[in-house]
Structure 1
């Protein structure tokens, strides 16, 4: 049984949804300026960015933090 997480704004939000929101909100160029990682700056795609973010916890944290900042 899944536990409730009322204080976690990321609960139930998939990484792909977060990334798609940020790309539509900022665009790839501004996203690369906000978070300086190559997957956003050099030939970016959703698929390649997700692959990188799933393997790189520090980068995923930056993306999640920017998402939380942008929805407030």
Structure 2
């Protein structure tokens, strides 16, 4: 009788993911506090950061736009690495 297949341990596979457990709202709040909306707009040129920016409108846009979310995640990782190196 064959052995049942083991399911991968999701927690174990996520240990090397620095974004594991970090919500998009948390990332955006931290980035806005660090750079401001104008700073975010200059680093990631999207309308949700430059024209009447708000957390809710930005989250709505980023959840529907994978390429923009990737840029936010990359910027967040860069910011946290810089903070940790100080």
TM-score range, shorter chain: over 0.9
Which of 3, 10, 17 is the aligned partner of 2:10?
A: 3
The count of residues paired between Structure 1 and Structure 2 equals 72
TM-score (norm 1): 0.96
Q: TM-score, normalised by structure 2?
A: 0.81
Tell me how far apart the structure 2 counterparts of residues 3 and 24 of structure 1 sit (CA, whole Å).
Answer: 32
Unpaired segments of 5 or more residues in structure 1?
Answer: none
Please list every run of at least 4 consecutive aligned residues from structure 1 whose deviation after the TM superposition is greater than 3 angstroms: none
Deviations 1:40-63 (A, max 9, x none): 000000000000000000000000
CA RMSD, 1 decimal: 1.3
Query: Is it true that 1:29 corresponds to 2:25 in the alignment?
Result: no
Shift of 1:34: 0.5
> What's the counterpart of residue 66 of structure 1?
75
Question: Greater relative contact order (Cα 8 A, min sep 6): structure 1 or 2?
Answer: 1
